[in-house]
Amino acid sequence: MSSAVQTIAVELGARSYPITIGSGLLDDGAPLRDAIVGRHVLIVTNEVVAPLYLQRLRSALARGDNKLHISILILADGEAHKTLDSAARVFAALAEAKANRDATIVALGGGVIGDLAGFAAACWMRGIAFVQVPTTLLAMVDSSVGGKTAVDLPQGKNLVGAFHQPRAVIIDTGTLATLPARELRAGFAEVIKYGALGDAAFFAWLEQHASALLAREAQAVTTAIAHCCEQKAGIVARDETERGERALLNLGHTFGHALETASGYGSLLHGEAIAIGMVCAARLSANLGRAPAVDTQRLSALLERFGLPTTPPAGLDADDVIGLMQLDKKNLSGRLRLILWRGIGQAEMAADVDIDAIRAVLTGSGAEG
């Protein structure tokens, strides 16, 4: 049974929704059933998560309403499957279930499943309800909240997508018990991001609680998740479609997405790519005289403490990476826009950043930050 459940609201008028956080929530069908619209539920998950958690979720869902028609789609695991082909499988499953708009998709898994299932929900009959049940740390603190949904193309990550808010986010922190250590560490990159971009006190708290967090101590982990969700809920409520402030959540992402694509999806985890990307952005800021170099060192030290990489993988061509960065959604009229910072807790948008300065950071040449 769930204990010490916390609820955080994402305030978006008629589309507001709760983020419910607690251990054991998978067995508590109530928050999930409250969010279901219609007669059909399609649970989308993958071959790793299904054996661990599908039966519990399904039973909890079915317990309260035996008229609900529940279908299951189990996809292959991994970023390589966050594709239009997988979205087509979701559409086929909905068609097979004879679902119309009278249906809700439940995404059970990490960010790959959440982004993909959310994208399919945005498209099916021009938009149906969906619920996020994130099971990775990264998905709990970032991807499940805020309604960004997408699939990848060979040309780049998240190039096809939609803003489509979930009806609820249900975070069972107990699911983190089975998360591989490398995936947990990758999730902490996004946790550290919240401190780095806008909350120096949280950054300092992470420095103090790194050991407890890495040991998965429940209280520390739940505190960190709730803090990140609150910060993100506030930003999304103020800037749902990324006209301004929300772009700051992409600290490290322009570098990170390009590094992830250039090194081949799956070799760097998303969170690992973001860790490297944040250090590149911090180093670039220092090299451009916008931020103190000592803050880059503090960021690198914290990421390394969480076992995360902080330099681009060897063997990548910097100009290939820059070419991929130029595809980023934040760019305007062909001009590169990046999230840089003035130091810990102070991210900002920078337009027209000099390409030579970016190349220097990617190759490790130039001033040291």
- Give catalytic residue positions: 126, 148, 190, 232, 242, 246, 250, 253, 257, 270
In whole angstroms, how close is the CB of 297 to ligand NAD at the nearest point? 26
Q: What contacts 271, CB < 8 A, 6 or more positions away?
A: 138, 183, 185, 186, 187, 188, 189, 190, 308
DSSP single-letter state for residue 79 = G
Q: Residue 273: which of 312, 299, 235, 238 has the closest Cα?
A: 312
Burial class (CB in 10 A: 0-12, 13-18, 19+), 327: middle
Burial class (CB in 10 A: 0-12, 13-18, 19+), 219: exposed
Q: Which residues bind ligand NAD (CB under 6 A)?
A: 46, 48-49, 52, 77-79, 82, 109-113, 115, 135-136, 138-139, 142-143, 146, 148, 157-158, 175, 178-179, 183, 186, 270-271
- For residue 24, give the 3-state DSSP assignment: coil
Which of 89, 337 has the CB closer to ligand GLY?
A: 337
Question: How many helical (H) and strand (E) elements, i.e. helices and strands, does the chain have?
Answer: 14, 11
In whole angstroms, how close is the CB of 95 to ligand NAD at the nearest point? 25
* Residue 152 binds to ligand GLY (criterion: CB under 6 A): no
Which of 40, 257 has the CB closer to ligand NAD?
A: 257
- Going from the C-alpha of 161 to that of each of 7, 150, 157, 223, the distances in angstroms are 28, 4, 10, 31
* Residue 148 binds to ligand GLY (criterion: CB under 6 A): yes
Interface residue with ligand GLY, options 249, 273, 276, 358 (CB under 6 A): 249
231 binds, among ligand NAD, ligand GLY, none (CB under 5 to 8 A by kind): none
In whole angstroms, how close is the CB of 367 to ligand NAD at the nearest point? 30
CA dist 295 and 292 (Å) reads 6
In the bound state, the residue with its beta carbon closest to ligand GLY is 249
246 binds, among ligand GLY, ligand NAD, none (CB under 5 to 8 A by kind): ligand GLY
263 binds, among ligand NAD, ligand GLY, none (CB under 5 to 8 A by kind): none
CA dist 152 and 87 (Å) reads 11
Binding site for ligand GLY (CB under 6 A): 142, 146, 148, 246, 249-250
